[in-house]
């Protein structure tokens, strides 16, 4: 009889102890790690496809001297094939040329003029090239590229001792990109981009944008077409491994560099409604704080609203509840 009483008594004691264990552990502070937001510069980017192209220069040199009536371009400007560079003042050219030829032709040093210019001066006496209408009325670009030199001035006689203009494709290689219309507004002349080429394993190259087309075109992609804008970028260094015709994948900035505040994903939770929140450490307890998140990286997410710069956030967010007592873990 005594043995059974003892067994019952022990069982009762165990039941009482088990009832108090949850409360005991509930009151015992959880050990947690704390973090603060990490400020970091971040530039969103987008990827576009393109191709490597060869580049070169070409001079625009009319056969005869002329006086520009209007110069329509400036040095550094991008021109297309056949684009009008200048118009010719025909009557002004005749008067200026004949006046100079008659007055100075016999006095100019032999090495001042090129052979072409001297031939033109020798023709002045008969005046046939002017009378026959050989003088052009328009000067146009003979290739697509950037004007690296323009020697024309409105109202001043131009002589064929030098190029009227030099159209350059920047000497070397360039990439031609097809940028979706939704993203082209984020690009600008001089902007630096990086790109890779499947033909060059582990190769990373850089280029600067030299031209953005003013027109959009349709690009066929399988059975669908997309609206794109052509963009040219001069390659800074091809390291003698790139070749014209190589395909490339370029990374372009989608917007200006901005400062963001990032938290590790482990510190951010979501409730059943989709609301993001964290637990902030304050006065020895964990307190829920609703936040708004933004940019996502591979290991962190940006906090846009709801959290102060220096507040301590519990990293082990899934181990605590609102108002739980916590202690900082020792390093």
The domain spans of the chain are 28-42+258-328, 45-53+172-253, 62-162
CATH number for the domain running over 28-42+258-328: 2.40.420.20
Model pLDDT for residues 64-101, shown as the tens digit of each residue: 888 999 999 998 888 999 999 999 998 888 888 777 66
Q: Tell me: pLDDT of 25 over 70.
A: no
Neighbouring CB atoms inside 10 A of 281's CB total: 21
Please count the helices (runs of H) and the strands (runs of E) in the chain: 4, 22
pLDDT at 146: 81
Ordered DSSP codes for 130-154:
HHTT-S-SEEE-SSSEEEEEE---T
Query: Is residue 166 very low, low, confident or very high in pLDDT (cuts 50, 70, 90)?
Result: confident
C-alpha 312/C-alpha 261 separation (Å) is 13
pLDDT score of 198 more than 60: yes
**45-53+172-253 CATH fold:** Elongation Factor Tu (Ef-tu); domain 3 (2.40.30)
* Structure confidence at residue 54 (pLDDT): 75
Q: Please, which pLDDT band fits residue 125 given cuts at 50, 70 and 90?
A: very low
Q: Which residues contact 122 (CB under 8 A, 6 or more apart)?
A: none
- Edge-to-edge strand order for the sheet containing 68-71? 68-71, 84-88, 138-140
User: Max Cα separation, the chain?
Assistant: 148
Average confidence (pLDDT) over 238-266: 88
Contacts from 234-238 at CB under 8 Å and sequence distance 24+? 234/55, 234/170, 234/172, 234/174, 234/207, 234/208, 234/210, 235/52, 235/172, 235/173, 235/174, 235/175, 235/205, 235/206, 235/207, 236/205, 236/206, 236/207, 236/208, 237/205, 237/206, 238/172, 238/173, 238/205
Q: What is the pLDDT of residues 172-194, one digit of tens each?
A: 889 999 999 999 999 999 999 99
Residue 34's closest CA among 260, 262, 261, 264? 264
* 234-251 pLDDT tens trace: 998 889 898 878 999 999
Whole-prediction pTM value?
Answer: 0.46
């Amino acid at each position: 009889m005594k043995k059974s009483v003892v067994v019952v008594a022990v069982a009762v004691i165990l039941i009482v102890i088990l009832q108090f264990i949850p409360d005991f552990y509930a009151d015992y502070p959880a050990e947690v790690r704390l973090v603060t937001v990490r400020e970091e510069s971040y530039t969103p980017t987008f990827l576009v496809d393109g191709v490597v192209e060869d580049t070169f220069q070409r001079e625009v040199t009319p056969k005869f001297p002329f006086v520009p009536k209007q110069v329509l371009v400036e040095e550094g400007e991008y021109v297309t094939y056949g684009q009008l560079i200048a118009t010719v003042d025909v009557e002004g050219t005749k008067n200026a040329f004949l006046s100079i030829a008659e007055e100075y032709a016999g006095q100019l040093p032999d090495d001042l003029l090129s052979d072409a210019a001297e031939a033109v001066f020798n023709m002045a006496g008969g005046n046939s090239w002017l009378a026959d209408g050989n003088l052009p009325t328009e000067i146009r670009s003979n290739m697509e590229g950037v004007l690296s030199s323009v020697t024309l001035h409105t109202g001043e006689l131009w002589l064929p001792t030098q190029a009227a203009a030099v159209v350059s494709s920047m000497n070397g290689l360039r990439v031609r990109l097809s940028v979706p219309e939704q993203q082209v507004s984020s690009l600008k002349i001089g902007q630096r981009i990086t790109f890779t080429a499947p033909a060059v394993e582990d190769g990373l190259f850089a280029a600067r944008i030299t031209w953005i087309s003013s027109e959009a075109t349709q690009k066929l992609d399988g059975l669908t077409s997309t609206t794109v804008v052509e963009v040219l970028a001069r390659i800074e260094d091809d390291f003698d491994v790139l070749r014209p015709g190589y395909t490339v994948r370029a990374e372009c900035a989608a917007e200006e560099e901005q400062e963001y505040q990032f938290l590790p994903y482990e510190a951010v939770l979501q409730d059943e409604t989709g609301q993001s929140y964290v637990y902030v450490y304050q006065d020895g307890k964990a307190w829920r704080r609703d936040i708004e998140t933004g940019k996502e990286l591979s290991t962190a997410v940006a906090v846009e609203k709801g959290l102060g710069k220096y507040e301590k956030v519990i990293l082990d967010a899934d181990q605590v509840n609102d108002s739980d007592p916590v202690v900082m873990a020792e390093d």
